[in-house]
Structure 1
Amino acid sequence: MISIIGEYSLLMLRVFQKPQKRKILRKNVIQEINDLGINSVGLVIFLSFFVGAIVAIQMYNNFKASSFPIPDFYVGYATKVVLILEFCPTIISIILAGKVGSFIASSIGTMRVTEQIDALEVMGVNTPSYLILPKVIASLFFNLVLIMISVVIGIFGGYIAGVATGKWANIDYVKGLQNPSPDFFIYYCFIKTFVFAFLIATIPSYYGYTVKGGSLEVGKNSTLAVVWTTVSIIIMDLILTQILLD
């Protein structure tokens, strides 16, 4: 484990050294935004809508089961806070770790086993920067967009749940949404998103870049990349929660 962390750190140092020409970097970043971000919008919208509805219904049921009365408008407030603090930055990032992480690891791993990376290095290209840096930039930028979309769609899902079930009045749900929450909750959400986005881009890149063997090893490393990215996100979630919300 210590050796892996050391190799990962050295690779990250090379990622941010001697970047390619700006024109090439810009072109690669745009391509990665499409591959890593835009292709994930549909999945994020689908999951966020239904989870937002589920969270709202569970909040309502828990409030009604409470031994003391809780106004219905707290359903909207609680749904908003839960989505911002935990579901959107953490759960969506874990899902993206599976979808995006496996794609990154397999694509770079395939280039490694087919000796395309070796060919680039012979040409004097800083391959970690050329292959990984655009993915890091695209992930940091578009993951933030995805999380913002997730929050909005999740809140909308909770609203539709109220319309469909009739358990709470729409005006109460909207009143709960308008109830002010600490501004730091938004900053906390964005900080977690940036950290998780960096992990999603770099850990799978490491496993793809360091793969040895053939196509079978590419598959194994893609699986390891998803597993360790997910584990890292959970650990960092605990650390950031303790540091930022203490």
Structure 2
Amino acid sequence: MKFFFNVGRYFTMLKRVFARPERHKMYLRQLFREIDNLGVNSVGIVIVISVFIGGIMVIQFAYSMSNPLYPSELVGLGTRDTLILEFSSTMLALIMAGKIGSNITSEIGTMRVTEQIDSLEIMGVNSASYLILPKIVAVVFIFPFLFIISVFFGMLGGLLTGPIAGVITVPEYLDGIRYLFYPYYVTFSIIKSLFFGFLVATVPAYFGYYVQGGAFEVGKASTRAVVNTNILILLFDLILTRLLLT
């Protein structure tokens, strides 16, 4: 199975995607539908995952910093910075690549194999722009909000779990949350979220748009889309961290 995609054809698709729309009202209506379908419907799973991850982080940090020489505030600080710098941006993007990315690939791929895309082209519609551009705008728009929601509920999960597990008190945890806070960390992670949102929307769209065959090939395309998106997210995470945190 070939997992990697044709970069040249990917940029050719993007050139068509960002061509001037024929009817702006049609695109606007499609945009709101995609925001609801891809973004709003993802809020629930983001909240659930973030609450549990925040609680797990608090317990793990408390265990690894059980030495009495370490101040208890480090537990809250470590949980906060891990959520902001890595989990709520990068790890969440990897999870969303599986949920949102497979959705995009299967939707566009099904339209390709059932010749609906060919019908749009015959009617003179720029199918790449009509189908993919609203998804890109919706995902890029919603990702920073998902990041903020994830950070909030992750820290809330730590606040609830720490005292219940008996590893830290509420005042100690809140002191750690406020300790040595750098606002640039939030800016850095929002920038990453915008890049990751673009990848999560465009790479799966590419695999769906160029799929050939039937339902079985659409399933394989969804797998390849998620794998490639995850690889690119990790690659850009490394590049952006090197560029923006040094």
Tell me the TM-score normalised to structure 1 length.
0.96
What is the identity percentage for the equivalent residue pairs of Structure 1 and Structure 2?
45
State the SS of the aligned residue for 1:64.
coil
Question: 1:40–1:2: structure 2 CA closer, same or farther, 3 Å change rule?
Answer: closer
- Contact 2:102 2:222 (8 Å CA) reproduced: yes
Question: 1:62–1:3: structure 2 CA closer, same or farther, 3 Å change rule?
Answer: closer
Quote the residue 2:138 is aligned against.
138
- In structure 2, distance between residues paired with 1:184 and 1:168: 27
Please tell me whether residue 64 in structure 1 is matched to residue 66 in structure 2. Answer: yes
- Contact 2:97 2:226 (8 Å CA) reproduced: yes
Once the 2 structures are TM-superposed, how far is the Cα of residue 180 of structure 1 from its aligned partner? 3.4
- In structure 1, distance between residues paired with 2:65 and 2:180: 19
Mapping of residues 156-175 of structure 1, within 5 Å: 156-175=156-175
- Contact 1:20 1:129 (8 Å CA) reproduced: no
Question: 1:57–1:114: structure 2 CA closer, same or farther, 3 Å change rule?
Answer: same
- Contact 1:144 1:194 (8 Å CA) reproduced: yes
- Contact 2:46 2:150 (8 Å CA) reproduced: yes
Please tell me whether residue 37 in structure 1 is matched to residue 39 in structure 2. Answer: yes
Question: 1:77–1:3: structure 2 CA closer, same or farther, 3 Å change rule?
Answer: closer
- The count of residues paired between Structure 1 and Structure 2 equals 244
State the SS of the aligned residue for 2:168.
coil
Question: 1:47–1:128: structure 2 CA closer, same or farther, 3 Å change rule?
Answer: same
- In structure 2, distance between residues paired with 1:69 and 1:11: 57
Mapping of residues 9-24 of structure 1, within 5 Å: 9-24=11-26
Please tell me whether residue 177 in structure 1 is matched to residue 199 in structure 2. Answer: no
1:160-203 CA deviation, whole Å, 9 max, x = no partner?
11121122111011111122322210111101100000000000
1:192-239 CA deviation, whole Å, 9 max, x = no partner?
100000000000000000001111111111110011011111111111
Tell me the TM-score normalised to structure 2 length.
0.96
Once the 2 structures are TM-superposed, how far is the Cα of residue 20 of structure 1 from its aligned partner? 3.6
CA RMSD of aligned residues (A): 1.4
> Residue type of the partner of 1:171?
P
* 5+ residue gaps, structure 2: none
State the SS of the aligned residue for 1:18.
coil
> Residue type of the partner of 1:35?
N
Mapping of residues 97-246 of structure 1, within 5 Å: 97-246=97-246
Once the 2 structures are TM-superposed, how far is the Cα of residue 3 of structure 1 from its aligned partner? 7.2
- In structure 1, distance between residues paired with 2:5 and 2:237: 24
Question: 1:2–1:234: structure 2 CA closer, same or farther, 3 Å change rule?
Answer: closer
Please tell me whether residue 85 in structure 1 is matched to residue 88 in structure 2. Answer: no
- In structure 2, distance between residues paired with 1:84 and 1:193: 11
* 5+ residue gaps, structure 1: none
Once the 2 structures are TM-superposed, how far is the Cα of residue 28 of structure 1 from its aligned partner? 0.6
Quote the residue 1:6 is aligned against.
8
- Contact 2:188 2:244 (8 Å CA) reproduced: yes
Once the 2 structures are TM-superposed, how far is the Cα of residue 22 of structure 1 from its aligned partner? 2.0
Moved more, 168-177 or 130-139: 168-177
- In structure 2, distance between residues paired with 1:11 and 1:82: 36
1:107-166 CA deviation, whole Å, 9 max, x = no partner?
000000111101101111111110000000000111111111000000001111112112
